Amino acid sequence: MLNKILLCFTLCFALNAQAKDWQNLFDHAQYQNAKISPDGKYLAVAVLSQGKRALIFFDSKTMKPVGSAKFQGRKEIGRYYWVNNERVVITIDQRDPWLEEPITYGELYAVNYDGSRGELIYGYQAGEMQTGSHIKKKKAIRGWAEIIDRLKEDKKHILISSTPMSDTGERLPTVMKLNVYNGKITRKLGTSPIPFAHFITDTSGELRALTGTDKNDHRLLYLRRDGDWIQAPQDLVGKSVSLLSVDASGKYLYTLDNKGQDLTGVFKLNLEDYSYKSVYTDKVVDITNVEMTTDGRTAYALRVDEDYPSYLILNKKAEEAQTFKNLLATFPYSKVNITSKTEDGNIYIVQVSSDVDLGTLYLFDKKENKISALFKFKPNINSAELAQVEPIQLEASDGQLLHGYFTAAKSTDKNEIAPLVVLVHGGPHGVRDYWSFSSEVQYLALNGYSVLQVNYRGSDGYGRDFAVAGHRAWGTRIQQDIHDAYQWLIKQKKAKASHTCIMGTSFGAYSAIQSAVKFPDTYQCAIANAGIYDLELMFEEGDTQEVAFGLSFLKRVLGTDKAQLKSMSPVNHVEKINIPLLLAHGEKDKRAPFEHAKRLKAALDKANKGYEWFVVDDESHGFFNPENQKAYMNKVVKFLDSHLM
């Protein structure tokens, strides 16, 4: 069935298989997703075309292209969904001329598989000059759309939330039923009582619950009762609860929560008597992800990441759950995700990724019990030549168990210990490092540098206590955890003293400079990109403090003690830095405004401390443009070579 496209993709696999210019690790993925139509006749493939994301439609039997969706100018394809057998709804991304990374303004576009009837169905440019009731007519809406439910029972409509535009996105969203052919709003189902709302429907597509975030950064739960939103008792669920699904009976609401416990697990709320109890919690880590049925309505599997990704099947009788279980057996030690399936359940599109593969998509014919490779996201990268990532565990100096990952340098003699890069993840809260593909890690390893990644205290995924232990400890305990992991690696003879550089982006950049201050004789150099260097400035500039709950968040994780903030701000202690620095930043950064880099630069200049400088005027938080990434990483390797080799 796939002979022609498989031939094309096979050639792509072979092309450049022996390439040694590893800067192509930073090229955007050539192929980015694939989804099959409900009737199985067409395949929608997201591809990179002339530097922008486009959508190509193929006949699934002949694999001949039958249509496409491409945008002119600065717009490109974002996420996309089959809403019936012929029509796809697409979120539009846009590249503003002053910014490399595309952003979305909440617009929705719909098109048929043959490229016909393409129309902007939601957004500030979608209006028509019409008379009569605005409920029944298409009109321009200055807001952001989020698809709540694709309403598989209704071939003409989808359910969306529409949030009026604002600088911070905290206006109240309204739920609407939107016609996917003409963009008319046929029904409004009410407005959320709280901003940043996430809605869920039941197995029939009916609204049942929402969570939103208040100004104190607490998650609140509301339940749908007779067309109204009723707030659940505030002490019923945890302060960070998130919604999963409503069971087929409509009686139970499943959530992810840590109510009354340290780790986040699955909970079940009885919607009739409000009883709430834990269903499953892992012994070591929070639940990372939940696999949902392709209609988005039912959770059927959980993923946890103590080391490698592992899965727990929730409903073994469900069709998709059974198929997913078989796929896990086919692809061990991998992340597996079903992107789409046919309505009859015979054909599945499956995405598989690992530490040496950004992603490969497969077509699984359940009826024939046959799986065929469609394409790799980056076909010109030979996975066999990449470095494998090893999960590690260690005790910090105070006995706390820490998890992380070690990637041995690929091109080093086995009898030698390679120089090391301690690569610190950003955040620090709400994120963590995973066993996964990283262009940055692979590039360093292929250029002769081993890489250490550690999930220090404050990282997500290891329970509430572990996360809170990093609060108000950015410059102290967190940096000690990173230091302890490096010392442990030396004892394991995987690294050696005096041959290590610390590096990171965002909070990782902060760690690099703060570690140079706190441990002036430990690291031989530090590399910092898009860093935060003055903690007091976070309360004055940047998009975090602009959001309603942003100040509450900053006060909770940083505190308000000015003396402590000054003591943990490396900009105030540059006289202690005695190692070479490489500082990089994007001038359009809103998360860590460029002012941080300028203040650090000024302090270094005043103290007569040397550094290298790499600034890009049209990048935001980190570098998005592949050419900027390549230039930056080329500079990184040259910097490392000059100070570690």
404-431 pLDDT, tens digit each: 999 999 976 767 899 999 999 999 999 9
| DSSP summary character for residue 3 | H
Percent of the chain with pLDDT over 70: 92
Which residue is listed with tokens 């008319």?
Answer: 184
pLDDT higher than 90, residue 63: no
CB 482 within 8 A of CB 515: yes
Residue 306 pLDDT level (bands cut at 50, 70, 90): very high
Query: CA 244 to CA 225: how far, in whole Å?
Result: 19
The helix (run of H) or strand (run of E) holding residue 629 is helix 626-644
Class of domain 386-644 as given by CATH: alpha beta
Least confident among 89-98, 490-499, 620-629: 89-98
Residue 2: φ, ψ to 5°? -110, 20
Percent above pLDDT 90 for the chain: 76
What's the average model confidence in pLDDT over 472-493?
97
CB 532 within 8 A of CB 592: yes
* pLDDT value at residue 168: 67
State both tokens at 556. Answer: 């909770």
Q: Range with the lowest mean pLDDT among 14-18, 44-48, 146-150, 364-368? A: 14-18
Q: How confident is the model at residue 317 (pLDDT cuts 50, 70, 90)?
A: confident
For the segment 178-187, the average pLDDT, to the nearest whole number, is 94
CA–CA dist 352, 376 (Å, integer): 9
Average pLDDT over residues 448-464: 97
| Strand positions, DSSP E, 535-629 | 581-586, 612-616
Contact 429, 460 (CB under 8 A): yes
* Separation between Cα atoms, residue 176 and residue 164, nearest integer Å: 13
Per the DSSP assignment, residues forming a β-bridge with 109 are: 90, 120
Peptide linkage before 626 cis (omega within 30 of 0): no
DSSP 563: H
**What is the structure's pLDDT at 6?**
37
Taking the C-alpha atoms of residue 396 and residue 284, their distance in angstroms, rounded to an integer, is 17
Name 598's Cβ contacts closer than 8 Å, sequence gap at least 6. none
> Residue ranges per domain, the chain?
75-191, 386-644
Q: What per-residue confidence (pLDDT) applies to 548?
A: 67
Backbone φ, ψ for residue 472 (5° rounding): 60, 25
Per-residue pLDDT, averaged over 110-130, amounts to 81
Tell me, letter by letter, the H, E, C secondary structure of 138-163. Answer: CCCCCEEEEEEECCCCCCCEEEEEEE
Q: Which two tokens stand for residue 276?
A: 């709430």
Residue 588 exposure: Cα atoms within 13 Å on the Cβ side:
14
Are 523 and 422 in contact by the 8 Å Cβ rule? The answer is: yes
Q: Which helix (H) or strand (E) holds 344?
A: none
pLDDT at residue number 15: 35
How large is the average pLDDT for residues 299-306? 95
Beta bridge partners of 36: 43
pLDDT at 169: 66
C-beta separation of 47 from 53 below 8 A = yes
- What percent helix, strand, coil does the chain show, rounded to 5? 20, 35, 45
Question: Do residues 406 and 494 touch, judged by C-beta distance below 8 A?
Answer: yes
Rounded distance, CA 432 to CA 438, Å?
Answer: 13
* Average model confidence (pLDDT) across the chain: 90
